[in-house]
Structure 1
């Protein structure tokens, strides 16, 4: 393992945690706009339709993927600017 990849591990873990929190907040706000409810349906919610559950899962997955990619890419760019090496 290259030294840059080893040094980037803790940064990557911190960025992963931050991206999860950002994505969670973004999904909660998005769902509130779509359905008007604060709580998104869970797969085991008996009172929610298949359509609501699958829509919520698809939106949540898309938001998490986009936020994770944006945060990971930003972290890699910042690391390259600081060290001159791409962390990969």
Structure 2
């Protein structure tokens, strides 16, 4: 399979994986937030009843979880495309 075909084959796979990564990271973050003992819902930045520390901690944890899940899913998708096509997607 040509390099162009591998890129085209990866586009829909990458899109679906990105959506899945967003859903998975949201679920993982909610569970980690509960385990940390901060309740069921993470604070919004405009939540008047929450302090700066809690809001920034929630944002940092959410960003870290999303980045790790997205990188893992992207890498797994690229490996799957390489196995299927013989070429690494760019």
The question of 1:57 aligning with 2:50 is answered: no
Runs (5+) with no aligned partner, structure 2? none
* Alignment equivalent of 2:31, drawn from 29, 49, 53: 29
* Greater RCO (Cα-Cα under 8 Å, separation 6 or more): 2
TM-score (norm 1): 0.95
| Uncovered stretches (5+) of structure 1, i.e. residues with no partner | none
Which stretches of structure 1, 4 residues or more, deviate above 6 A after TM superposition? none
Q: TM-score, normalised by structure 2?
A: 0.93
Aligned equivalent of 1:77, options 76, 79, 83: 79
Structure 1 residue 26: Cα displacement: 0.2
In the alignment of these two chains, the number of paired residues is: 88
